[in-house]
A and B are shown apart, each in its own frame.
Chain A
């Protein structure tokens, strides 16, 4: 037998080590559609519990929107369930190209190419248009999928301190001899909820003749006055050369991602990006659902406006309660606890209180930066958030952390 007992034991030992370090990830079974309130079976086998969901990427509450579901149903009836093909063989329907066009209009770009996910978009895009004589200068906190994508390409790599423009400028200067200098950043950073200063980044790009790449997965649909993304928020629509984003978060939450930007870069992806060339096309119901999402968002800013109001209420509420949060404008609001065990204990107690949140700690976030990441949705209503705030206050009080600053919490619980 090829899977020998020695190998099986080695794998078991690795898993046990993860369990002992408290690093084993466990899935929680949800018995309802994605929403502000969900029904959860956790731990596995226990009674179902109705909880307020504060950890979904369902920023606009469109994951279970009736019009989106209806559009997916219609496509299922008319275009089928799947296409059993990659895009360039027989996997492109008219609606795929329609969605690419709709995304280009929504994001204000020249062209767009769909991928099975944004993880795949990031894995394929760099290799498609960069060569050995180029350099990628990326923010140190960019998403893991960007790191993977960069590793797959031949360009030289360098990094700059998180959102530190002085350091970025120094790197741009250092790499003046390269053919392409590509600045790479997230629009909204997924763990801290802060924004990349795209106005300053674009100004530097102009000064040093660099290209700009933004992963806007945690902002497409709601950042900016009409929800087009971080580039709209900073007034630099049309100046970002490459945007990658996902349809798996605010834009319907099902699956799919894209590379959007300069038309030649998009075409090079169509010719060369391996995750595009070698994985299946997006299923028709998902394409039609995403088209409906963009139609809803192009017609009204109601949802992103509600999300913005919820975010303000939540950030203010947590601050008034005496909890430490990471500052920012995004609906990702990390409640800082610094100590890994404390983050797990607080998350567990909040679950008992009917609040579904997750504690994050090293290596997902830097050592000594453990936190509970809360995420707002347009699906939340103020009374729901008030209830969640009360729970945070009760649990915060239990652990004696209300009113303590970073130093105080670390003195009490350690890093």
Chain B
């Protein structure tokens, strides 16, 4: 799952000339570093919901929960467990 989310973030949020500057892994801060802004986070949330057939309530799609791929994956897994 980590790889799928990383791949999505790379395609959706990084520009070609950013890619050499940004070393993206599961622990890279996404929001606090400015790679993903809170406004663009909406498409990431939609992608996760569609890809993993879950529904993420807005209050759980917080800046903290979305700040690294590791925390995003944890959130998704928790919701898959609930399903």
Chain A residues in contact with chain B, CB under 8 A? Answer: 138, 140, 147, 150, 157-159, 161-162, 164, 362-363, 366-368, 415
B15 cross-chain contacts in A, Cβ below 8 A = 161-162, 164
A147 cross-chain contacts in B, Cβ below 8 A = 39
Taking a contact as CB atoms closer than 8 A, the residue among B34, B40, B43 that contacts A367 in the complex is: B34
A19 to B13, CA, bound (A): 31
Taking a contact as CB atoms closer than 8 A, the residue among B21, B33, B37 that contacts A140 in the complex is: B37
A150 to B21, CA, bound (A): 30
Given known contacts A147-B39, A150-B39, A161-B15, what 10 new A-B pairs fall within 8 Å (CB)? Answer: A140-B37, A158-B42, A158-B43, A159-B39, A159-B40, A159-B42, A159-B43, A363-B34, A366-B34, A367-B34
Q: Say how far A192's CB is from chain B's closest CB, in angstroms.
A: 12
Complex A-B, nearest 10 residue pairs according to Cβ-Cβ distance, in ascending order: A159-B40, A367-B34, A366-B34, A157-B42, A158-B43, A147-B39, A367-B33, A161-B15, A140-B40, A159-B39
A150 to B43, CA, bound (A): 15
A367 to B15, CA, bound (A): 14
A157 to B21, CA, bound (A): 28
A10 to B15, CA, bound (A): 39
Taking a contact as CB atoms closer than 8 A, the residue among B13, B21, B40, B43 that contacts A368 in the complex is: B21
Q: Is the interface of A mostly helix, strand, loop or mixed?
A: loop
A150 cross-chain contacts in B, Cβ below 8 A = 39
Q: Which parts of B12-42 form the interface with A (CB within 8 Å)? A: 13, 15, 21, 33-34, 37, 39-40, 42
A157 cross-chain contacts in B, Cβ below 8 A = 39, 42
A362 to B32, CA, bound (A): 11
B42 cross-chain contacts in A, Cβ below 8 A = 157-159
Q: Say how far B34's CB is from chain A's closest CB, in angstroms.
A: 5
A-B contact pairs, 25 of them (CB 8 A): A138-B39, A140-B37, A140-B39, A140-B40, A147-B39, A150-B39, A157-B39, A157-B42, A158-B42, A158-B43, A159-B39, A159-B40, A159-B42, A159-B43, A161-B13, A161-B15, A162-B15, A164-B15, A362-B34, A363-B34, A366-B34, A367-B33, A367-B34, A368-B21, A415-B21
A366 to B18, CA, bound (A): 11
A366 to B33, CA, bound (A): 8
A362 cross-chain contacts in B, Cβ below 8 A = 34
| Nearest chain B residue, comparing its CB with the CB of A156 | B42
User: What 0/1 pattern do residues 33 to 76 of B give for CB contact below 8 A with A?
Assistant: 11001011011000000000000000000000000000000000
A366 cross-chain contacts in B, Cβ below 8 A = 34
A415 to B20, CA, bound (A): 13
A159 to B38, CA, bound (A): 11
A144 to B4, CA, bound (A): 31
Q: Say how far A256's CB is from chain B's closest CB, in angstroms.
A: 27
| Nearest chain A residue, comparing its CB with the CB of B18 | A366
B43 cross-chain contacts in A, Cβ below 8 A = 158-159
A368 to B43, CA, bound (A): 24
A150 to B40, CA, bound (A): 12
| Nearest chain A residue, comparing its CB with the CB of B41 | A159
Q: Say how far A356's CB is from chain B's closest CB, in angstroms.
A: 28
| Nearest chain B residue, comparing its CB with the CB of A161 | B15
Q: Say how far B57's CB is from chain A's closest CB, in angstroms.
A: 17
A367 to B34, CA, bound (A): 7
A157 to B43, CA, bound (A): 8
A7 to B42, CA, bound (A): 34
A329 to B37, CA, bound (A): 27
B34 cross-chain contacts in A, Cβ below 8 A = 362-363, 366-367
B21 cross-chain contacts in A, Cβ below 8 A = 368, 415
Q: Say how far B14's CB is from chain A's closest CB, in angstroms.
A: 8
B40 cross-chain contacts in A, Cβ below 8 A = 140, 159
B33 cross-chain contacts in A, Cβ below 8 A = 367
A162 cross-chain contacts in B, Cβ below 8 A = 15
A346 to B12, CA, bound (A): 35
B39 cross-chain contacts in A, Cβ below 8 A = 138, 140, 147, 150, 157, 159
Q: Say how far B60's CB is from chain A's closest CB, in angstroms.
A: 19
Q: Say how far B45's CB is from chain A's closest CB, in angstroms.
A: 11
A406 to B42, CA, bound (A): 32
Q: Say how far B81's CB is from chain A's closest CB, in angstroms.
A: 28
